[in-house]
Amino acid sequence: MTLLTFAIFLLILAMTLAITYWAARRTNTTSEFYAAGGDLSAAQNGFALAGDWMSAAAFLGFTGLAALYGMDGSLYAVGALVAFLPILIIIAEPLRNTGKYTVADVIAYRMQSSHARMASVVGSIVVNIAYLVPQMAGAGVLIKLLVGIPYTVSVVVVGALMIVYVAFGGMIATTWVQIIKAVLLMVTGAILVIWIGALFGFNLSELFGAVGSQYGSDFLSPGNYLTHPLDPISLALSFALGTAGLPHVLIRFYTVKNAKVARNSIIWLMFLAGAFFMMTTIIGLAAAHFVGRDAILASGGGGNLALPLLAEHLGGGPGTIGGTIFLAFVAAIAFTTILAVVAGLTVATSGAIAHDVYVNVIKRGAVTEKQQLRVARWSTVAVGATAIALGLLAQGVNVAVLVILAIAVAASANFPVIALSLFWRRFNTWGVVGGVAVGLASSVGLAAVGPAVMGPEAIFPLVNPTLLSMPLGFAGAIVGALLRPRDKTAEERFDAVFFRAHTGAESRL
């Protein structure tokens, strides 16, 4: 590891720890811990959402897919933007108006039942852990490849930092780490794209022409990565609707004052992250052209080094001063990206454990504010320690399947239950339990017998099981609800919930 890389890493560490120190002094209530006090502006929450959503899987993964497999990588990337249409239009505002700190708040408020809350907590925790472990493992692999720090050290450092950020600075520190990361990532993307543009006379078809003549037109056709004809649609559904079931994304809407700020913050996110996802196509194709697919494959990391290698190439190539500076900078950004995402996941998970399970189910709300805060901080430590342990166990395991699983479970177990709770009058606690159970079992089960785990001998042909598991999740929720006779009181309660979801009547529980 060069001195320069070390210096950039230290600078970013110092900055995030200073933020945490500042945030810790402002974190004295549960509202500040879980929701940053609920008073962020649309721009602040928009940048933080972008920092939360543009994970290493987007920054390094989408560019790698675009570089190695052409169009399929771009199809992947645009889905990450489309996903926010359903969130904007049907989920964010009602969620903001009926929940407090967690996704399960919404379900529990509607159903007035701790069974419903617990079912929702199970869905949230499975998704969060499935999302958290690949981030930790990704950090280990990437930092090792980029700067040579051993896997174990990277995983422990990332885990320790996320515990410090969240345990001390809660959602306030998380928000500002995410904002800084979003700015750094956007600037890096913009510099790369302008640089690439200058090399091709700012003419996109020149870039396509160069890549096309180098690798043949088949490279720019669909089907190089998503090989089964139903793979793209299954992926599309899991992205378009699964994102609306990701707790670490949804809890960001509790950090704003009302539904109007929530929706305006989504516009910020859509232009920031959308522009970035669009850039990954250009960066990926340029990496295929300049670095070459063989060199990207040979570098290890399954294509994830396409962007760092391109940056090194543009800076002057391996061994040059410019190349080294660029690589060091990109490595530091990748590291910050991972930190910002794992911090968001940690807030969401400790909320599910401390706020949902301990305070609301075990203690039935009979806990003082001070005790709640203490439990929240200790849950953070427990979540962080678990994530470190699982991250270490995941060394050498193909964690790509976990990323697919996280979004598939979110689409199949969480989304149906959230959507039906907010919009279906006849829905009830049995439906919540049925939806989570069937959605979880079908997405995990089908992924386990699919190509990501079983390879060519797969029993189920699709890598992403959402095409089948999401309808099954909905079926489980609907059948579960219909197994109970109609309950007039509960249905009339829905009218009050629905009214509040859409008017914000006396927001906050």
Partner 1 sequence: MSHHDRSTSRLIAEEPAFRRLVRAKRRSAVPALVVGVGFYIAISLMAGYAPSFMSASVSGAVNVGYALIFAMYVLTWTIAVIYVRRANRTFDRLAAAALAAGGVGGDDAKAGAVGDARDASATAGTIGAISEAKA
Distances in Å between the Cα of 197 and the Cα atoms of 144, 206, 427 are: 31, 10, 53
Q: How far is the CB of 488 from partner 1 (least distance, A)?
A: 8
What is the rounded distance in angstroms from the CA atom of residue 450 to the CA atom of residue 444? 10
The residue range among 74-82, 144-152, 308-316, 444-452 that interacts with partner 1, by the rule CB under 8 A, is 74-82
Tell me if 304 sits within 8 A of 140, measured CB to CB: no
260 touches partner 1 by CB under 8 A: yes
Among 71, 179, 184, 333, binds partner 1 (CB under 8 A): 71
DSSP, residue by residue, 32-76:
HHHHGGG-B-HHHHHHHHHHHHS-HIIIIIIHHHHHHHTHHHHHH
Q: How far is the CB of 179 from partner 1 (least distance, A)?
A: 21
Burial-class residue 217 by CB neighbours within 10 Å (0-12, 13-18, 19+).
exposed
433 touches partner 1 by CB under 8 A: no
199 touches partner 1 by CB under 8 A: no
364 touches partner 1 by CB under 8 A: no
What is the rounded distance in angstroms from the CA atom of residue 312 to the CA atom of residue 302? 18
Q: How far is the CB of 203 from partner 1 (least distance, A)?
A: 10
The residue range among 47-55, 138-146, 208-216, 437-445 that interacts with partner 1, by the rule CB under 8 A, is 208-216
271 touches partner 1 by CB under 8 A: yes
Among 270, 283, 327, 367, binds partner 1 (CB under 8 A): 270
Among 13, 24, 82, 295, binds partner 1 (CB under 8 A): 82
> 303, 279, 302: which is closest to 291 by C-alpha?
303
Taking each helix axis from N to C terminus, what angle separates 415-423 and 103-111, rounded to the nearest 10 degrees? 40
Q: DSSP class of residue 496?
A: H
> 343, 340, 302, 305: which is closest to 143 by C-alpha?
305
205 touches partner 1 by CB under 8 A: yes
Taking each helix axis from N to C terminus, what angle separates 151-199 and 306-314, rounded to the nearest 10 degrees? 50
354 touches partner 1 by CB under 8 A: no
Lookup result for tokens 């470190």: 388
21 touches partner 1 by CB under 8 A: no
Output 399 or 501, the one with its CB closest to partner 1.
501
Among 17, 29, 156, 228, binds partner 1 (CB under 8 A): 228
Output 278 or 449, the one with its CB closest to partner 1.
278
Among 10, 11, 217, 459, binds partner 1 (CB under 8 A): 217
Output 21 or 499, the one with its CB closest to partner 1.
499
SS3 call for 307: helix
Among 209, 300, 317, 318, binds partner 1 (CB under 8 A): 209
As beta bridge partners, residue 33 has none
Cβ neighbors of 302 (< 8 A, separation 6 or more) are 64, 400
Catalog residues that contact partner 1 under the rule CB under 8 A.
Answer: 71-72, 74-75, 78-79, 81-82, 84-86, 88-90, 204-205, 208-209, 211-213, 217-218, 220-223, 226, 228-233, 235-237, 240, 259-260, 263-264, 266-267, 270-271, 274, 277-278, 281, 488-489, 492-493, 495-496, 498-500, 502-506, 509
